[in-house]
Amino acid sequence: MHHDRFYTLSASCPDQVGIIARVSGFIAANGGWILESRFHADAITGQYFMRLEVRADTLPFLLAEFRERFRSEVAGPLEMTWRITDSSVKKRVVVLVSKQEHCLYDLLARWQAKELDVEIPCVISNHDTFRGFVEWHGIPFHHVPVGPDNRSAANAEIQRIFEDVRGDTMVLARYMQILPPELSDALAGRVINIHHSFLPSFVGARPYHQAYQRGVKLIGATCHYVTSELDAGPIIEQDVIRIDHSDSPDDMVRYGKDIEKTVLARGLRYHLEDRVLVHGNKTVVFR
């Protein structure tokens, strides 16, 4: 990874002749230096996807003017869905957790080591278990209990906190509550979950026990975007580990924790680096 300040342009549009020429030509005409570029044409859907990094100091204008010019000169004519971000602006990640600690510990360790170059304005939990651990890192902790009688109010409070701290991304780091459709829809493409199975197998609760009952030989974890349909959002990243008949459900849970941590960290990194483009219920991930 280079260290110069850069802009990341990610986009998709109907496939047609001249897309790369039009985009790169716009950048070159303004003196822009392309540091990295990736492209993908989906022959089945007829959609074209791209991701480019442009060194910021080679352009004669700021990001706001880039957006305006690009919108009128390139994106409009190509019917493009696009976004552009600035590497100097850190993404703000709000972490939600329940009583399983491994993903939270891993994310905060990566954050503290600057492997994840983000801001974590707060951690939210439906239990008070990790308050001391989170506050030891200098991160505000919000305890929002969730029960049958206050579920709607609790979810509204979570959304309020997320908006108040100007969150960019919400990470469900083994947060064992289902977000309501209205919250999932309001934050579409901005909420990332780690599910402890290789989706679409074993949706819902106790997937390792489901896997044990089914006698599978591989178990895994899935990082995906949250939608109103449980565990069915666009998949960002997955991994698996081999098991055999001698492994108990407890063994699978232990093995799975390692996969969950790494899959969540990779998926979150891809998202934060604007490497994930959602198309329907699928993703294009430029690793």
Do 28 and 151 lie in a common domain? no
Between β-strands 235-242 and 218-225, what pairing exists: parallel, antiparallel or unpaired?
Answer: antiparallel
Contact 13, 78 (CB under 8 A): yes
DSSP character at residue 56: G
Same domain, 78 and 151: no
Q: Which of 42, 57, 128, 231 is catalytic?
A: 231
CATH code, 40: 3.30.70.260
pLDDT tens by residue, the chain, 287 residues: 556 899 999 999 999 999 999 999 999 999 999 999 999 999 999 999 999 999 999 999 999 999 999 999 999 999 999 999 999 999 999 999 999 999 999 999 999 999 999 999 999 999 999 999 999 999 999 999 999 999 999 999 999 999 999 999 999 999 999 999 999 999 999 999 999 888 888 888 888 999 999 999 999 999 999 999 988 999 999 999 999 999 999 999 999 999 999 999 999 999 999 999 999 999 999 99
Q: Which of 71, 86, 101 is the last residue of a domain?
A: 86
Tally of domains within the chain: 2
Catalytic, 231? Answer: yes
Shared domain check, 81 and 19: yes
Give the residue numbers spanning the domain of 153.
Answer: 93-285
Q: Three-state SS for 271?
A: helix
Q: Which of 86, 112, 147 corresponds to the end of one domain?
A: 86
Tell me, yes or no, if the pTM score tops 0.85: yes
Q: Report the distance separating Cα 94 and Cα 114, nearest Å.
A: 16
Q: Is residue 1 part of a domain?
A: no
Domain with 235 in it: what CATH number?
3.40.50.170
d(C-alpha 171, C-alpha 278), whole Å = 17
